[in-house]
Amino acid sequence: MDIAVLIKQVPDTTAKISISGDVVDEESVGKWSISPYDEYALESALQLKDAASGEVVAITCGPNRASKALTEAAAVGADRLIHVVVDNVNMDSTQLQKLLATAIEKSGCKTIICGKQAADTNSGSTGPGLARILDATLVGMVSDISFEGSDLIATRSGLSGAEKVVVSPPCVFTFDKGTRELRRPNVRGIMMAKKKEIESISSSDLGLELGESSVSLSSHSAPPEKPPGQKFEGADSISTVVRKLREEANVI
């Protein structure tokens, strides 16, 4: 069973984000990484591959720099790499879903795994949108997936605790925090990944006319700076600290 895993390259959670001309200055981002929830999805896909035959097909959609995320996926075990090259940063979610859905159909995969949301936009619309377009079963908030014959068993959080959902392909799983972190690449994997071919395709290659985006970006702005901390010393400050904790921090 071949498995498509969708990954997105986002600014690393430790990277400093700068604003220039009312938009995020991508040139200033020192480190780009695979979105954390997508890492859990990738690890789960690799575990399924280890448990059965088939290939893991890593797919990303983004500018040229996003190909590095595919190379990182190859270093830990992804077999095929597909890059839908798009430079339009204002592309809306429905356009993205059409591109990814067509790329998935091109890959031949019937099982699709992705993160529940990207670390930069936090929209959480990709998985549900793909399930609608592909007419596939959607299982969200997944933490683990295993095989049972030709079916897949997804473990996810429910109202009364962990629950197991059994589905058959075509299906889409969106990952919350998984049971295992993404494995680290070894030297051999890194070297082989550098030589692995990335299939780069455009919307025209997929035969899609996306039209105009329904999203317009007015500006980006940095969050307000946090006020400086307060320091109190000595027993005489106890009453002041207690009052501040009660009236300002609302913790007592």
227: number of CA atoms within 13 Å, CB side?
A: 2
Asked if 214 and 92 count as a contact pair (C-beta separation under 8 A), the reply is yes
CATH for the stretch 3-221: 3.40.50.620
pLDDT band at 89 (very low <50, low <70, confident <90, very high): low
The reported pLDDT for the residue numbered 1 is 83
Spatial separation of the C-alpha atoms in residues 174 and 46, rounded to whole Å: 15
Q: Where are the domains of the chain?
A: 3-221
Query: Is 88's pLDDT higher than 90?
Result: no
The reported pLDDT for the residue numbered 77 is 95
pLDDT in tens, 6-23: 999 999 988 888 888 788
Spatial separation of the C-alpha atoms in residues 204 and 202, rounded to whole Å: 5
Please calculate the CA angle 211-203-132 and round it to the nearest 5 degrees: 75
Query: Is 90's pLDDT higher than 80?
Result: no
pLDDT in tens, 127-181: 999 999 999 999 999 999 998 888 999 999 888 888 999 999 999 999 998 788 9
Look up the pTM and report it. Answer: 0.86
Q: What does the DSSP 8-state code read for residue 184? A: P
